[in-house]
A and B are shown apart, each in its own frame.
Chain A
Amino acid sequence: MTVAYFAVLAALTFAAYAVAVRRSSAIAVAGPVRLHSLPAYHGLLAASVVLVPMLLIYLIGSQLVTTLATSNALSQFPADVQSDVMKSGSALRDVRNLAAGQHSGDASPVLTSAAATYSAWLERGTYAIYGAGILAAFLGLAMSLASIKPSFRARTHFESVVNIVLMACAGVAILTTIGIVASVFTETMRFFFDPAIKGRPGVLEFLFGTEWNPQQAMRADQGDIKSAYGFIPLLTGTLLITFIAICVAGPLGLLSAIYLAEYATPKMRKYAKPVLEILAGIPTVVLGFFAALTVAPLVRGAGASIGLDVASESALAAGLVMGMMIIPFISSLSDDVINAVPQSLRDGAFALGATKSETIKQVVLPAALPGIVSAFMLAISRAIGETMIVVMAAGLAANLTINPLDAVTTITVQIKTILVGDQEFDSAKTLAAFALGFVLFFVTLILNFIAQRFVRKYREQYD
């Protein structure tokens, strides 16, 4: 159905273009007056007048038809099925399967008749969409052909269509944000306030609880398993690993940036920059593999050799590799900032007799400080949101500890652990992942916002 509709759509669009171009060029050749717009613009306008309504009819129509078919099919079921979200959902799945001929086992009479209604409505809807679409296309075509006159400003009209398309494309970014906020926020609200969710925590219980154990009772007789949604262990775990990562990446990245910006010869820069870019381009799943397979045993072995008991999934190993990931991030941002410090400041310091390192430490770095701080904040936000390294190298146990040799878990690890595999969308456990996602989104957003503010303020100082 979809393929056929789009084939018709494409054919009509091309036809409209071709006819309009012929018609307008005929006028252009025959008539005494010159066309305002080139024939191609008449063609493009006609094509878009056919294309856009047909697309809209399909998009809106198919949603409408599905909704109608669903509600009509559902009305065949008893009232208790209709009112219960879970039951009606599974009934609808059965109806769809039966209508598609994929239902296994015997179907009850209610189900059979519901499926019949469903397919009947779908079929009716399909015809309606086809009819409306083709009608709209021909109307549009007739309208645009009728308007082909030398004085008709086809280009202006077409350009305003293009302008709307351009705006819509820019709007996708906004839509994405709205989508993220809406989906994550609504699920989070359900997690905290929906009375239908069993075992949901209070907001304060979530924010300040010190125990994280999102275990759900699978059956009624396992009801004594207590779930706990205390956020604090995840927060400390995340911050611990981030702290280790920054301890590694901060000095290394900053010193590398200083060397590259102030000391390195152009040739050295030419070779060193790609090294950092390659490191920045390595997928985190690769770094995670490296952390789990090589770094973690190394850390464990080193700990054992000096008599320390290191967990096999220690925060230290994950943090070290995460630090590796962040080095290029800090160094490239800091490099930009240091390069943006005006040469006159350096020259002034040199003129006063300062050595190069004195100039850097006492003049360049203070001038670049806001930029460097914002680089660090962006790096922290990157580290907090990083998933694969910690999934592969950090543990699952939500220990409330600040010992880097212990196993800790992070926000992202828990989101991944909860959501991988089939999940009911109505359990507190699944919704907890969305609450964690909300926290993650919110924290990184704030960090980025502050960092961008810092950069802007700094730019204004020297431009």
Chain B
Amino acid sequence: MTDIVPQPAPVIPVRRPSAEQSATRLKSRYAVERRFKALGLGSLMLTGLFLLLLLANITLNAIPAFSEHAAVMDVTLDPAVIDPDGKKDPAILAAADYASLTRAALMTAIPGVEGRAAKKQLASVMSSGAADDLRAKVLADPSLIGKTIKFPMLLSDDADLYFKGEGVKASSRPGTGTITASDSKGQITLTSADNAFAALTDTVSKFDLEKDDGGLVLKSSMPSHLVALNGGLVKLSKISPSSATGEVLTPLTSAGPAVGSAWQFVTYGAPEGNRQVNDQAATFLEKLKASGVVQKNFNWRFFTSGDSREPELAGIRGALVGTFLTLLVTLSLCVPIGVLAAIYLEEFAPKNWLTHIIEVNINNLAAVPSIVFGLLGLAVFLNYFGLPRSAPLVGGLVLALLVLPTIIIAARAAIKSVPPSIREAAIGLGASKQQAVFHHVLPLAMPGIMTGTIIGMAHALGETAPLLMIGMIAFIVDVPKGLTDAATVLPVQIFLWSDLPEAAFQQRTAAAIVVLLAFLLLMNGAAIWLRNKFERRW
């Protein structure tokens, strides 16, 4: 036995910082702390900003699509065109050439349009849907034939955008001096003895313009300059201080001089090359606007019609019905299967390797990319079982498989949260295991299951990629009537429209997105409400 000699404790030299040093260090540590906290808050704010930017951007884009412009005009329902033999046979009434009537009404409203090109331009201001609307009105009430009615005629998408302020900013200022027109229509020359155009040449001189024997040649890449005189409108193509040449867009009442305030310079703000509505069409639209017939309505058509190649006629009804049918299939499949599967796994499954595989499998399925489910649908449902393409039935099946793991996981969590005492009490009173589960546990777990279901359905509602695989991407005008009709769904409609070049379709895409988000918000709101109202903490 040896004595343990107590060793002296090793002396560690401690370098205590001075009070000043530790104060500085503390200061810098606190600065780091503040920076770190600000960084966290900053990233949270940035995320919020992203969301805000996204929602604001889409809402702003969508707003114009919720209104449409129509011109209320007198339309003469000429019996010779609509019902030549006077029998009011619906088949003949439906086949009549209503487009000629609406065109005639437009020509009456804007008189004096001559030349094929100008007439075609005028007709293009109106949508082809105006004739369809007129047909529907006549078919609904054949007694109107022969009368002249006031009828709101839908304008084309370009005209519509023009009135929504996307097009031209027209402005005018009075002229000074005297100008004389060489003719009342066609290509004319305006001459001025007192250099009345000098004001305009100064304005346009900042553009780098070519000269052509003393005159500046105006380009389509700059704002358009026009002159209004003698009740008509002339688009200038070449100007010099003392003269200007141009094309008459609206015929003058007479050739000859106009003095002082009797004539004006008119400017169409945006360059003609950059807009859908050219100067000729713009004069028609300005005229319609001046005569007070243009009317802005809420765009009900967007909700009541199917898809169309014409943006002003396209609506989301078909997509909404398709979505409804698809989700109906999804809901009626994945809720029973999901809930029963959850009950089995949570309450009855023996703890063995098979159950373990099923559990791992469900967790993995929840993370499989959605497009892979589309491949499954294509190979199994379409190719192997020969189900119809583009049908809500197949879409619903694929989406059901897609959201099944979500619902099983949510339902299991809800069942698990019911305390064992409930089961034990039921079993203690003589209930069988199944009676305890179906009569007592399931009702108590229901709010949680419903919440999970709604969230799963919201997920299904926004899903696009797998539906592209099974052909729900076709251009379909008709509203689907059954589960096996060709249909599309709202997200796919959004995808289809977003690919189209017309500005009006971009706005409609945004509007469809607003509708989709509104539905999602509604569903998530319902889920939160359910959770707060019914979910019990044990």
Q: In the docked arrangement, what's the CA distance between A327 and B345, Å?
A: 32
20 A–B pairs (Cβ distance < 8 Å), ordered by A: A166-B343, A174-B361, A179-B376, A183-B380, A184-B375, A252-B43, A259-B40, A263-B41, A275-B51, A282-B462, A282-B520, A289-B509, A290-B54, A355-B33, A356-B37, A385-B369, A385-B371, A416-B465, A419-B378, A449-B364
Q: Which residue from A173, A282, A378 sits with its C-beta under 8 Å from B341?
A: A173
B36 and A166 contacting across the interface, CB-CB below 8 Å: no
A276 touches B47 (CB 8 A): yes
Who on chain A is nearest to B36 by CB? A357
CB distance from B46 to the nearest CB of A (A): 6
**The residue from B344, B364, B371 contacting A412, defined by CB atoms under 8 A apart:** B371
Cross-chain contact A170 with B517 (CB below 8 angstroms): no
Give A453 to B120 CA distance when docked, in angstroms: 70
Please count the residue pairs between chain A and chain B whose beta carbons lie under 8 angstroms apart in the complex.
244
Query: Counting CB contacts under 8 A, is A162 at the interface?
Result: yes
Contact B369 A183 (CB under 8 A): no
Interface residues as binary, A285-302 with B (CB distance below 8 Å gives 1, 0 otherwise): 111111011100000000
Number of A residues, CB within 8 Å of B = 85
| A434 close to chain B: CB less than 8 A | yes
CB distance from A297 to the nearest CB of B (A): 12
Other than the given A284-B465, A361-B36, 17 more pairs (CB < 8 A) read A169-B337, A173-B341, A183-B379, A184-B375, A255-B42, A259-B41, A275-B48, A284-B464, A293-B61, A331-B47, A386-B369, A392-B495, A420-B473, A434-B379, A437-B375, A444-B367, A444-B368
Residue of B whose beta carbon sits closest to that of A286 = B513
Contact of B300 with A by CB under 8 A = no
Is A346 interfacial (CB-CB < 8 Å)?
no
Query: Which residues 439-491 of B sit at the A interface, judged by CB distance below 8 A?
Result: 458, 461-465, 468-469, 471, 473, 491
Contact pick for A388, options B54, B337, B465, CB 8 Å? B465
- Interchain CB contact under 8 A, A180 and B41: no
Q: Is A441 interfacial (CB 8 A cutoff)?
A: yes
Of all chain A residues, which has the CB nearest B340?
A169
Query: Which residues between 355 and 394 of chain A lie within 8 Å of chain B, taking CB atoms?
Result: 355-358, 360-361, 378, 381-382, 384-388, 391-392
Q: Is A110's CB within 8 Å of the partner chain B?
A: no
The 9 closest A-B pairs by CB, nearest first: A385-B369, A283-B462, A259-B40, A183-B379, A166-B344, A387-B465, A357-B36, A169-B340, A255-B43
Q: A21-46: which have CB < 8 Å to B?
A: none
Pair B494/A285 contact, Cβ less than 8 Å: yes
Q: A155-B432, A275-B47, A283-B516 are in contact. Are A170 and B349 (CB under 8 A)?
A: yes
> Which residues of chain A are near B494, meaning CB under 8 Å?
285-286, 289
Decide if A109 is an interface residue (CB 8 Å cutoff). Answer: no
Whether B401 lies near A176 (C-beta < 8 A) is yes
B44 part of interface (Cβ distance < 8 Å) = yes
A360→B380 contact, CB < 8 A: no
Which B residues are CB-close (under 8 A) to A8? none
Give chain B residues whose Cβ lies under 8 Å from the Cβ of A360. 36
Contact across chains for B370 and A258 when beta carbons are under 8 A apart: no
Cβ A285 vs Cβ B370 within 8 A: no
Closest B residue to A323 by CB, please name it: B50
User: CA A187 – CA B380 in complex, angstroms?
Assistant: 11
CA gap between A437 and B369 in the complex, in Å: 9
Q: Which of A169, A356, A416 contacts B468 (CB 8 A)?
A: A416
Contacts of A434 in B (CB 8 A): 375, 379
